[in-house]
Amino acid sequence: MISAIDPGGRNTKYFDSRLPKPVMFPSAIGINDLDRNLKSSGEFDFEWEYEGLTGFAGSLALRESEYVESRKDESKAHFDAKLRSLIALHQYGSGNEHQILVGQPIDTHTETEKQAIKKMYIGSHDLTVNGKRKVIVIKNCEVGPEGAASGLLVAPAVGTIRIIDIGSGSVNFATITDRQFINKSSFTLPEGMESKSKLDPRSFGRQIAARAIARKWDKNDTVYVTGGGANEVLPFIQQLFPMAVLLDPDPFTTNVRGLLMIARRVYGG
């Protein structure tokens, strides 16, 4: 089965071609929580056992974990991102063998980090979720740049577009020319909607736009804004980039939809 996973700092998104639309659940994880007395059945309530550890994830972790966290790192080569992705495959994937495409922030979309991520995923994983054990076999794993993946939904065959993907822990700035990702004018601001003690969308929008201008983006460029922070921050980006628009009415899942397009191209599905 070919699928795309965007294990974000706040929300994990999963998509494959059997589904009408992507699935999204909270990325929160708590480790070694006590047994639940009350068996609730929220759609994204997950109790997991993996590599000798146990805990809660999803909405159950947000509600019940005493040590809940959603890691928001600059790279996604870490245990929490792996567990979020494996829970997505366990719950929403089909069959036991998988070829996956996962997202990674642009600045850490480097050969070293990509190799670390592939090594982390490729192989077999024995995971139990809500009492159901599965052996998940990942045969192939490729890594795609966040932000740029979203751009594939709107990029024209000829011409340059810019994408700003405002996430919980990072903002990705991507440039796509003739549907090709241009690394030298793409970068990451390692701060997102949940990095400030009290987010001020106006100041954050100004900060984001100023970063783009510092990297020589032109104020008349076609800029598409996406990610969970897009609706809140867009009006303030428009003050410096009047041509900026919302990339898609569902800004949360644009990366995972673009990653699935890459997956189908890479794996021929």
Ligand X SMILES: Nc1ncnc2c1ncn2[C@@H]1O[C@H](COP(=O)(O)OP(=O)(O)OP(=O)(O)O)[C@@H](O)[C@H]1O
3, 4, 5, 9: which one contacts ligand X (CB under 6 A)? Answer: 9
Judge whether 204 and 238 are in contact, CB under 8 Å. Answer: no
Radius of gyration of the chain (CA): 18
Determine which residue in the list 4, 5, 11, 55 makes contact with ligand X, applying CB under 6 A. 11
Interacting residues of 141 by C-beta distance below 8 A, sequence separation 6+: 99, 100, 101, 102, 117, 118, 121, 122
Nearer to ligand X, 85 or 220 (CB): 85
Q: Is 227 in the site for ligand X (CB under 6 A)?
A: yes
Answer with the entry of Mg ion, ligand X, none that 228 interacts with (C-beta below 5 to 8 A by kind): ligand X
- How many residues contact ligand X, by CB under 6 A? 17
Longest CA span, the chain: 58
Output DSSP code: residue 107: G
CB 253 within 8 A of CB 149: no
C-alpha span between 191 and 174 (Å, rounded):
16
Decide if residue 170 touches ligand X (CB under 6 A). Answer: yes
Which of 49, 194, 221, 248 forms a contact with ligand X (CB under 6 A)? 194
Q: Mark 122-161 with x for binding to ligand X (rule: CB under 6 A) and - for no binding.
A: ----------------------------------------
Which residues of this protein are in contact with ligand X, per CB under 6 A? 8-11, 27, 72, 167-170, 192-194, 227-229, 252
